Amino acid sequence: MHFPIDFPAFAGLRICAQFLGLSYSHIRKITYDQRPAPAGWPAPVRVGGKVGYLRHDLERWLDSLSSAADQVSACPGAPAQQAAETPPPRRRGRPRKLESAARGAKK
């Protein structure tokens, strides 16, 4: 895999963000559990006082994403995604008696 930047074996959050093409704040929030991590996201590593990720862990995660995408596109029997019917837009204000009866919200 060719990387556009020089990526060391251990990198801090800013270099990881640049490597993945994500913002630093997004990586920081994932690292410190302020935002849910994507499936298979590697665990952060602490070296001294610095928190970051190992290069091979991020490479493995990126490879798992590309292999998962290949499996989905290669599956011939997969049903096509159909757009769900959207309900009519809700009206402003208090619902009318007929609308609330139709929803089953009897008081």
Identify the CA nearest to 58 among candidates 1, 99, 96: 1
> For residue 51, what is the enclosing H or E element?
strand 50-54
pTM of structure: 0.58
Q: Where are the domains of the chain?
A: 10-74
Residue-level pLDDT at 50: 92
Identify the CA nearest to 12 among candidates 4, 20, 64, 33: 20
d(CA 70, CA 4): 23
Give residue-wise pLDDT tens across range 39-98.
889 999 999 999 999 989 998 988 888 877 666 655 455 555 555 677 777 778 887 777
Residue-level pLDDT at 91: 76
Do you know the residue count of the chain?
107
